[in-house]
Amino acid sequence: MRVTRYLCTMFCLGMSSASLAADTDFKSPLFIDGIHCEGHADSKLGEALRKNYSNDEIAAVGVKAQLQLLCEALFKEFGVEKFQWVTPGDLERLDFTLKHSKRFQSVDLSIKKSEMQNHVHLVGQFQQFSKKTHYTVNGSSSVERGNADDGNRYTQRLNGHIDFERQGEVNLAPLVFGFDFRNSTAKHPLSVETLKEGGEETTLTLEEQIAQARPSGSYGHVEMRLNLLRLRSYTPFFTIGLDHTRISGDKTFSRTNSYEAGVVFHGDPLLSMNSRTQLSILNANYVATGTETIVPKGQGSGRGARNITFAGLSGAGSSSWMDADFRLYRSITQDLHFFGNVDVLFKLGDYLGLDHGLGVSQEVVRGAVLPEHRLGLPDRNVAKGFWRVGRDFTAFGAKQSLTVDAGFGIYSATNYTENSYSVGNFYGQLAYVTHADLFDVSLAFAYGSQRLY
């Protein structure tokens, strides 16, 4: 990955070993004798490094050496190393990439003459972003129309995260607190007729069939995530999560402790698409009561505990013509469980003063185990397509946006009795988002022509 990213950076900078010598635009290549940095590291890092030494004198030398290594590693990440020939054009592009990486509030590059002709020392003066705690809160409420027997389905969701001492928008905060609360209610989970559509008759009673569906209830999740020091273009992280789900009807619940560890790879800022990719391992240990327990048919119900480990791949990308994010987690135990989603918005441009976009999304759950998937039918595919119209504006010193979505969704699933089920609806959504220096808030209201479950 490091070699690939380095080569990519070289390509994007237009550098290659051949071009360094044969660049006819600029006929005076420069040899970098040394690289020096000021302000590239947090002052607390120096203090932390000093603790590794017992002697102050040795500590001073050791810390200086480690900070120098950090400096050279930073420039190497952007394609420039000591004892390398570069052209003035290469330095111009380096200046551009450093400034547009948004890793630092400001970057000033300069070169100083060295002893020999065309030999220089490269000096970078960096200013870090100030540390600020940033709050992100998203609230949504939706209603899906149901018939007189089943009633409407009402769903509310509140989620977000608090990034403690985040420096800038791109740098991950060292500590992040996340939360996600959902509540979904309907008069009845599903009508008997709906359950039996396309399915076979089962030996379960009517109440048992309805109980097995049981997608109404509430779910709460909190987590703490540690992002370790970003020295390269990747950031290791570790997350501890706690979930609680209560399913309405028979008052059962499940509780989950989860641990996730992985690495986030940051995309090359010079590429037209800003991207981020994450690899992780997620271990979930959950305890359930009542019929919330997943047991084979015929073995009754009771208190149960299970432990499942998933391998996860997720990512996000943004360019001038598209925003996309995806997530896929697959169990690495004997039972097959996986879940994932893909969301893509194609930006179609400005027309009549409004921004237009075409969005598609797909969510897949197989063997719903994690509490976040329990509100809904197990083994489900949810596909949506929508047209988005919106406008960005500035008000009260903050960037705001208002969007309207109109689309169509299809919900296909099988429940525990293996009845297949498929429903589609038309829906509309109004969303408002505000981005300020210290917080991002979004509110969304959605209406569906028919209940999906």
Partner 1 sequence: MRSYFGIALLILSSRAFGVDLCPSYATLHEREIIPRIRSGIPFKLLGVAIGNDGTVQRRALRVEYDLWKEKVTVEVIGQGRETVGLSKSQDHICRALSFPGSKTLVKHQYRLFLNPVLENGLERLRSTKGTDSAGFLKIDWGRLVKDIETEKILLEREFTP
CB of 393 to partner 1, least distance (A): 14
CA distance 435 to 415: 40
Closer residue to partner 1 (CB): 85 or 96:
96
Q: CA–CA separation, 442 vs 430, rounded Å?
A: 11
Q: What angle do CA 195, 299, 197 make, to 5 degrees?
A: 10
Half-sphere exposure of 423 (CA within 13 A, CB side): 22
CB of 108 to partner 1, least distance (A): 7
Counting residues that bind partner 1 (by CB under 8 A) gives 19
Q: Choose between 122 and 210: whose C-beta lies nearer to partner 1.
A: 122
CB atoms within 10 A of CB 304: 15
Going from the C-alpha of 358 to that of each of 361, 363, 385, 401, the distances in angstroms are 10, 17, 8, 17
Buried b (16+ CB within 10 A) or exposed e, 356-385: ebebebbbebbbbbbbbbbbbbbbbebbbe
Shortest Å, Cβ 366 to partner 1:
42
Torsion (CA) 8, 40, 171, 105 in degrees, nearest 10: -100
Write out the binding residues for partner 1, residues 74-103 only, by CB under 8 A: 88-89, 91-92, 95-96, 99-100
Q: Which is nearer to partner 1, 118 or 307 (CB)?
A: 118
Task: For partner 1, give the closer residue by CB, 109 or 231.
Answer: 109
Please, what is the minimum distance in Å from the beta carbon of residue 111 to partner 1?
4
Give all strands (DSSP E) within 302-437, no chain letters: 304-318, 322-331, 338-351, 354-366, 380-395, 398-414, 420-435
Least distance (Å) between residue 113 CB and partner 1: 5
- Taking the least distance from each CB to partner 1, the nearer of 321 and 426 is 321
Least gap, CB of 320 to partner 1 (angstroms)? 8
Under rule CB under 8 A, residue 26 binds partner 1:
yes
Nearest distance in Å: CB 434, partner 1? 21
Q: Least distance in Å: CB of 112 to partner 1? A: 8
* Shorter beta-carbon distance to partner 1: residue 80 or 370: 80
Task: Tell me the H-state helices in 81-173.
Answer: 88-100
Give the per-residue contact string, 275-294, with partner 1 (x = CB under 8 A; - = no).
Answer: --------------------
The least CB distance from residue 159 to partner 1, in Å, is 32
* Pattern 357-396, partner 1, x by CB under 8 A: ----------------------------------------
Q: How far apart are CA 321 and CA 346, in angstroms?
A: 6
> Which is closer to partner 1, CB of 90 or CB of 223?
90
Q: How far is the CB of 85 from partner 1 (least distance, A)?
A: 15
Closest to partner 1 by CB, 119 or 145: 119
User: Of 28 and 54, which CB lies nearer to partner 1 in the complex structure?
Assistant: 28
Stretch 40-79: interaction string toward partner 1, x if CB under 8 A = ----------------------------------------
The CA distance from 19 to 35, in Å, is: 22
User: Cα separation of 166 and 227, whole Å?
Assistant: 11
Q: Among 4, 24, 28, 203, indicate the residue that binds partner 1 (CB under 8 A).
A: 28
Tell me if 34 contacts partner 1 by CB under 8 A.
Answer: no
Residues 104-163 that bind partner 1 (CB under 8 A): 108-113, 117-118, 120
Smaller CB separation from partner 1, 34 or 340: 34
> Which 8-state DSSP code applies to residue 188?
S
Strand partners, 441: 137, 434
Structure tokens given for 396: 């009260």
Side-chain half-sphere of 239: how many Cα atoms within 13 Å? Answer: 24
Least distance to partner 1, CB of residue 399, Å: 14
Query: What whole-number distance in Å separates Cα of residue 415 and Cα of residue 394?
Result: 47
Which residues, listed in sequence order, are joined to residue 305 by a DSSP beta bridge? 287
Q: Find all residues with CB under 8 Å of 145, minimum gap 6, and list them.
A: 152, 447, 448, 449, 450, 451
Which CB atom, from 52 or from 110, has the smaller least distance to partner 1? 110
Interface residues toward partner 1, by CB under 8 A? 26, 28, 88-89, 91-92, 95-96, 99-100, 108-113, 117-118, 120
